[in-house]
Structure 1
Amino acid sequence: MSSWFTDALKACMPAIRKNLDRAMAEAEANLLDRALARSRGNTISPAAPIRVAAKPATQPAMPPQLRQDLGVSNADELVQWMRQQIAEKRRRAMATAFLPDDPAPAWTYDEYEHRVVIQADDHQVGVASHRSGTTPTGAPYDDLVLNADGSHMELNDPQAAVAECDAHTTILDLHPERSDGSGLCNECRDPYPCGTIRALGLAYQHRPGYLDAWRWRP
């Protein structure tokens, strides 16, 4: 068991013990009340209210040292940064040579003409194609789109980028921090940001601003 999880569990134990003690005391009191009522010949209605221990308003917060070990002074810091990266990637994808009648057309690589094109209905727009000529110094150049490059561009076209951004946003939305002050993920019940979010962040580790402390380490 990892040390941060052990620390989080230890931090929660006093509140857990307190709630268990309170619940046991309430249960004993209820049983005693019922036993006394029976000994006196009184009847007890099945619908008689039973006292239940009150739940604490908030769970114990994650220890500050544990937050520091996780690399987040603010639990939302990593998530906010990731949302900014996702939004910027989506904006650039949406602005990349889309046709007016199709907000997210697919890119296709033509291996015979060595060019990448946007194809939608009867419209076709070239994105990258074969070019040749000379540089200002007179040296010849040939900007042929190679098969490997074209295939990669086809698989990572704006349509795929937008879908990926939307999927990543959905994952973040499905793993919010609990609102009870416990510092835990509402879905995983692990310290927030949870392993799912930290692992997702690896997709953006090459971006400026990414901190190594955010890295997911099993």
Structure 2
Amino acid sequence: MAGTGTQAFWIDAAHGGTQERYGEQLRRWRHAFAASEGEPAVAGVTLDPRHFALAAWEVATRPVADSPYVRRHPRVLDATCHRPEQAPGLMAVVELATPAPVKLPEGWAGWQRQDGGDGTYTAPPYERPTALSTLELRVPLGVERLPTPTHARASGLPNLDDAQAALETLVAELNAVVTPFLRELDGVRTESPMPEWLRTQIEADKATAETAGGRAWRYVPAGDGNRLEIDGERGVEAIGFHHDDVLQPVEAIHIALHDPADVVARCQAELALLAEHGRDCQECSSGSPCTTVRRLATGYHLRPGWRDEWAG
């Protein structure tokens, strides 16, 4: 797992030797994995998924000389996991640096980004008037997804693979909850796939119409030949004879009204409307298609890939 995009936490696998250093920390802090009274254990190491995961997280996030094995977004000031009293699962408490809820008076400072490194949010020097706002997230974590530790390979020493699996589970659980808050704070929007799907449908219709010649078709009624003229040299004959394999007049009229020229013109108008809303519409620019785009998309709701929630 790499620290790409907006994530709250990630395991530092980008630098060589980080997992080996984490293994060294496990040996150094093996006492954190010692089984408590009443817990299942082998060779002195707990087999309780909650206890094991908490210890693995503590060792991975401990502020040691080397960089922690689990790294975090610059806005994450602190992240701890513990067992709440009278609750079966785990509780994570994550503290985020947030903008001040009010405009700060002149001369006051807020959070600042630390130069270099990962740009962690830090407080200004103590001699400056400072107003710091934080958001505390209390995240209940279920135990059903936590892996069960295996037998220790050495007496009293937790297995590195088990600790890695516990960390991956906790990181995934926390990212699912915390990352949306970070996206809002950093102004990152998760765009709906609907506008792109709609654009694909429109462009496909336009390409088909252009391949068909892009010309206007005309229905010629019975008195003048009862045919559908495609161009000056081609046409469909024997319309309206009520056989199973020929067109009836109303079908020919419908086709003529939706000929390649008409489809190209309609698609051009819809693409222009879609581009205008993607560029100039405040609601669309936030990543959520507006009512106009949603209504436009419902005209294609019979196409493959349509989702009912897009109707809005």
TM-score computed with the length of structure 1 as normaliser: 0.51
Shift of 1:76: 4.0
Query: What is the one-letter code of the residue matched to 1:84?
Result: T
Amino acid at match of 1:107: W
Instruction: Say if 2:221 is the partner of 1:105.
Output: no
Post-superposition shift, 1:145?
2.5
- 8 Å CA contact 1:114–1:144 kept in 2: the answer is no
Measure the CA separation in 1 of the matches of 2:248 and 2:270: 30
Q: Return the alpha-carbon distance in structure 1 between the equivalents of residues 299 and 306 of structure 2.
A: 11
Residue correspondence of structure 1 range 174-185 to structure 2 within 5 A = 174-176=276-278
Gaps of 5+ in 2: 1-97, 107-178, 182-188
1:195 pairs with 2:291: yes
Q: CA deviation at 1:83?
A: 1.4
Q: Is the 8 A contact 1:110 1:117 kept in 2?
A: yes
How many matched pairs? Answer: 132
Deviations 1:104-128 (A, max 9, x none): 3210001113321124xxx3311x3
- SS of residue paired to 1:205: coil
Residue by residue, what CA displacement relative to the aligned partner does 1:72-124 show, whole Å, maximum 9, x if unpaired?
A: x952411111111112111111112x2xxxxx3210001113321124xxx33
Question: Shift of residue 17 of structure 1?
Answer: 5.7
Structure 1 unaligned runs (5+)? 1-13, 27-62, 66-72, 99-103, 133-139, 178-185
Residue 189 and residue 85 in structure 1: after superposition, are their counterparts in 2 closer, same or farther (change >3 A)? Answer: closer
**Alignment counterpart, residue 270 of structure 2, candidates 163, 168, 176:** 168
Which of the two has higher C-alpha Rg? 2
Q: Which residue of 1 aligns with 2:233?
A: 124
Matches within 5 A, 1:1-218: 18=102, 21-22=103-104, 25=105, 64=180, 74-96=190-212, 98=213, 104-112=214-222, 113-119=225-231, 123-126=232-235, 128-130=236-238, 141=243, 143-176=245-278, 186-189=280-283, 192-216=288-312
Contact 1:116 1:129 in 2 (8 A): yes
Q: 1:131 to 1:171 in 2, by over 3 A?
A: closer
Residues in 2 aligned to 1:16 and 1:215: alpha-carbon distance in whole angstroms: 37
In 2, the alpha carbon distance for the partners of 1:210 and 1:81 equals: 8
Letter in structure 1 aligned against 2:215: P
**AA matched with 2:308:** D
Give, in whole Å, the separation in 2 of the partners of 1:148 and 1:78.
Answer: 34
Contact 2:239 2:252 in 1 (8 A): no
- Change in CA separation of 1:142 and 1:74 when aligned onto 2, cut-off 3 Å: same
- Show the counterpart of 1:43: none
Contact 1:130 1:142 in 2 (8 A): no
1:109 partner SS:
strand
Structure 1 residues 64 and 194, CA, compared in 2 at 3 Å: closer, same or farther? Answer: farther
Deviation at 1:142, TM superposition (A): 5.3
Cα RMSD (Å) of the superposition? 3.3
- CA positional deviation for 1:202: 0.7
Name the one with the larger helix percent: 1
Q: Which residue of 2 aligns with 1:49?
A: none
2:227 is aligned with what amino acid? Answer: R
